[in-house]
Chain A
Amino acid sequence: MRKGIAALGVALGGSMLLPGAAAAHGLVGRTDLPIPEWLFGWAAAIVLIVSFLALAVLWPKPKLEGTEPRRLVPIPAPVVIDFVCGAIGVVALCVLVWSGLTGEQTPSGNFASIFVFVIFWVGFVFVSAIFGDFFKAFNPWRAIGRGVAGLAKLARGGELPAPLPYPDWLGRWPAAVGIFGFAFQELAASEGNMPKHVAVAVLVYSALTFIGMALYGIDRWIERGEAFSVYFNLFSRLSPFEWRRDAIWLRKPLSGLTKLEPYAGTVPLLAVMIGSVTFDGGAEGEPWVSIAPDLSNFFQDHIGLSPESALAITYTIGLLAAVLIVYGFYRLGIAGARTVGGEFDSPYLASAFVHSLVPIAFVYVAAHYFTFLLNEGQRIWPALSDPDGTNFENWGVDYTIIGATATWYWQVAFVITGHVCALMLAHDRALVLYRDAKAAVRSQYWMLGIMVGFTSLALWLLSQSNQ
């Protein structure tokens, strides 16, 4: 996690101490070894073999599209559970802001940084993908919004004025911007993971969320605008569990994604998700470590920025470039798929297939941050009883729970599984979309190209040495 910036500090001459560098390794005690060449070769070969076989043997009739979930278990007393979960979320939010503002200013010694960057940002992704959209119940902004709306109703003695209609063009754009903002905070901002800065960012984001909910209504904003609800909801669609108000429903794994609404901004959101992990991985090696010092020096020498600002801007440019490259590559593949016929235009196809990028986005996070979660996540236990880090120097981490070799196999397994899931989703969608079976198959050559591209990029990132 932004480890390259420390190396960069040295590359920049070493004489200036980068405050960013201090924060950079504040949360990471152990970095993964790059996957060795032979494993990279094998993984790439398996990806190609799986892809060809998939095209040859995948089902001729849709298997995921149009499947209906079935009721599994009822949720007892849904109102009480909703209230309790919401209250837990609000308490966590308050503790986070308090410990961030007043506690120990060491990222690895404060509940705020550990919770936000390790448990929330990474841990919740895994939990959502396995158990479904649990975050909605715990969402503190939703809970506070509902509480305030309830009080306002009481005070007014009647219904509140109806919110503004949510504009179609806005779609998931606020979520895309929000997730980019998080990635900026984590990867580019100067000392972005310092507890104080985390707490301030949380306060600013909370204010924006309340404005969004006040304008467009709580449920609508949570569903489309609130970045983390949208983010975790996307991953939760991988899960076989669907949480409804009064019961848990069981669905085919992945089939939740086929019901993803094609709102505006969804493709950019996925590009931000994949692009930010790409940048985090890619910033540790070439070509970025050669480009960044020049870019940063340019901002210092020619524009007169301070080293911290120059570095933050440089990293923001890198982050944005990674997102744009991911977006451009996807749109390129889609432009190819358009040529097979079927009278669909490019934007339509781009949003018709975007759900197949969700498993890829998941495995990018999973492969890149798996050990980060297992190792640094251990700090959450002491942090829960000592949130402001009074005694943080004794918060030990056992780095031996997963070795380097096991890590490599997990990472490669994640990446290949994501590839297969993406292929299945795209294939299923093509069968529904194209009435002509031949056009469906031809479109899949292009989709295959996109998937192989993203999967190879994932493997390449994992094989990057950060020397």
Chain B
Amino acid sequence: MGRSQRIGLIVAAVIVAVVAIVVLSGGDDDSSDNGGTATTTSAGGKTVPAEVPTIVIKDGEPVGGVQDLEVDKGDTLEFRVKSDADHEIHLHGYDVAKDVAAGGSVTYKLTADIDGIFEIEIEDLKQQIAELTVNP
């Protein structure tokens, strides 16, 4: 390979590096902004207890489709499951199972100490009712 070709390639690499740093550092600002907003929300959540998200089960299915729950790692995760029939509700990964009686409800409250994406399902029907995202 010619000398000039080598230099050309190295220049190309440097250009990519510079562009990446400029563009992505800009991106970093955005993401830290997002992070800021997220913190404010959760801080707000601590002072004024937010409404507990509730998943309603009707005829063995979640009303309105599979629900999304999202918390940051270390925060308190709280949700309620209401059901029209007796079921066992299983939060995967954390491996917590609780029974809900027909017409009643059950509340989950725990510290979200494992990050990742987890399923919450009606154990006896193997029907997913919610997806829990725990951000790091």
Interface, chain A (partner B; CB < 8 A)? 6-7, 9-10, 14-15, 17, 21-22, 25, 29-33, 36-38, 41-42, 45, 48-49, 52-53, 55-57, 60, 396-397, 399-400, 403-405, 437-438, 441, 466-467
* Complex-state Cα separation, A15 to B118, whole angstroms: 22
In the complex, what distance in Å separates the CA atom of A60 from the CA atom of B13? Answer: 20
Q: Is the CB of B128 within 8 A of A399?
A: no
A197 to chain B, nearest CB (A): 16
Q: Determine which of A9, A25, A396, A441 lies in contact with B119 in the assembled complex, contact meaning CB atoms within 8 Å.
A: A25
CB neighbors of A among B117-136 (8 A): 117-119, 121, 125-128, 131, 133-136
Partner of A467, one of B60, B115, B131, B135: B131
* B104 adjacent to chain A (CB < 8 Å): no
Q: Which residues of A contact B62 (CB under 8 A)?
A: 14
Q: Which residues of A contact B27 (CB under 8 A)?
A: 37-38, 41
| Further contacts, 11 of them, CB under 8 A, given A29-B92, A404-B115 | A10-B128, A21-B127, A29-B95, A29-B118, A49-B13, A55-B1, A56-B9, A57-B6, A399-B114, A403-B136, A467-B68
For this complex, into which size category does the number of interface residues on chain B fall?
35 or more
| Separation of A7 and B65 alpha carbons in the complex (Å) | 9
Expressed in whole angstroms, the Cα–Cα distance for A405 and B116 within the complex equals 10
Q: Is the interface of B mostly helix, strand, loop or mixed?
A: mixed
Question: Which residues of A sit under 8 angstroms from B116, Cβ to Cβ?
Answer: 30-33, 399, 404
Q: Tell me whether B114 and A400 are in contact (CB under 8 A).
A: yes
Tell me whether A38 and B9 are in contact (CB under 8 A).
no
A52:B136 contact, CB within 8 angstroms: no
Asked if B119 and A52 sit within 8 Å, CB to CB, the answer is no
Q: Which residues of A contact B134 (CB under 8 A)?
A: 404
CB of A466 within 8 A of CB of B61, answer: no
Task: Chain B residues near A22: list those with CB within 8 A.
Answer: 126
- A33 touching B1 by the CB < 8 A rule? no
Q: A32-B117, A53-B13 are in contact. Are A441 and B5 (CB under 8 A)?
A: yes
- Chain A residues with CB under 8 Å of B101's CB are none
Segment of B16-24, B48-56, B76-84 engaged in the interface with chain A: B16-24
Quick check: is B103 within 8 A (CB to CB) of the other chain?
no
Decide if A52 touches B117 in the complex (CB within 8 Å).
no
6 A-B contact pairs sorted by A residue (CB < 8 Å):
A17-B126, A21-B128, A25-B121, A25-B128, A29-B93, A33-B135
Complex contacts, A438 vs chain B, CB 8 Å: 1
A6 and B10 contact, CB distance less than 8 A: no
Question: Quick one: given A10-B66, A30-B118, are A15 and B12 in contact (CB under 8 Å)?
Answer: no
CB distance from B127 to the nearest CB of A (A): 6
CB neighbours of A396 from chain B (8 A): 95
Determine if B133 and A33 form an interchain contact, defined as CB atoms under 8 angstroms apart: yes
Write out the residue numbers on chain B whose beta carbons fall within 8 Å of the beta carbon of A52. Answer: 9-10, 12-13, 16
What residues on B are CB-neighbors of A437 within 8 Å?
1
A49 contacts B68, C-beta separation under 8 Å: no
Bound CA–CA A38/B33 (angstroms): 13
Say how far A108's CB is from chain B's closest CB, in angstroms: 10
Chain A residues with CB under 8 Å of B23's CB are 41
Complex formed: what's the CA distance from A400 to B94 in Å? 10
Given contacts A33-B135, A53-B9, A400 and B128 within 8 Å (CB-CB): no
Would you call B86 an interface residue if the criterion is a C-beta within 8 Å of the partner chain's C-beta atoms? no
B135 to A, closest residue via Cβ: A33
Q: A15-B61, A399-B93 are in contact. Are A404 and B24 (CB under 8 A)?
A: no
Does B28 sit within 8 A of A, measured CB to CB? yes
Interface: B31 (CB within 8 A): yes
In the complex, which residues of chain B have a beta carbon less than 8 angstroms from the beta carbon of A7?
A: 66
Nearest-neighbour CB distance to chain A for B20, whole angstroms, equals 3
Taking the nearest CB of chain B, how far is it from the CB of A30, in angstroms?
A: 4
Which residues in B have their C-beta under 8 angstroms from that of A48? 13, 16
Alpha-carbon separation in the docked complex, A466 to B6 (Å): 42
Output the nearest chain A residue to B129 by Cβ-Cβ distance. A10
CB neighbours (8 Å) of B125 from chain A are 17
User: Which residues of chain B are near A33, meaning CB under 8 Å?
Assistant: 115-117, 133, 135-136
A21 adjacent to B93 (CB under 8 Å)? no
Q: Which of B9, B19, B24, B66 contacts A55 (CB 8 A)?
A: B9
Partner of B93, one of A6, A30, A53: A30
Instruction: Return chain A residues, CB-CB under 8 Å to B135.
Output: 33, 404
- A33–B95 Cα gap in the complex (Å)? 18
Q: In the complex, what residue of chain B is closest to A49 when comparing beta carbons?
A: B13
Distance A55 CA – B16 CA, assembled complex (angstroms): 15
Residues of A within 8 A of B128 (CB): 6, 9-10, 21, 25
Bound Cα distance A10, B118 (Å):
16
**How far apart sit A57 and B9, CA to CA, in the bound complex (Å)?**
9
Asked if B113 is an interface residue, CB under 8 A from chain A, the answer is yes
List the 10 closest A-B pairs by CB distance, nearest first: A45-B20, A22-B126, A56-B9, A52-B13, A404-B115, A31-B117, A404-B136, A30-B116, A30-B93, A56-B6
CA distance A10 to B121 in the complex (A): 13
Contacts of A15 in B (CB 8 A): 61
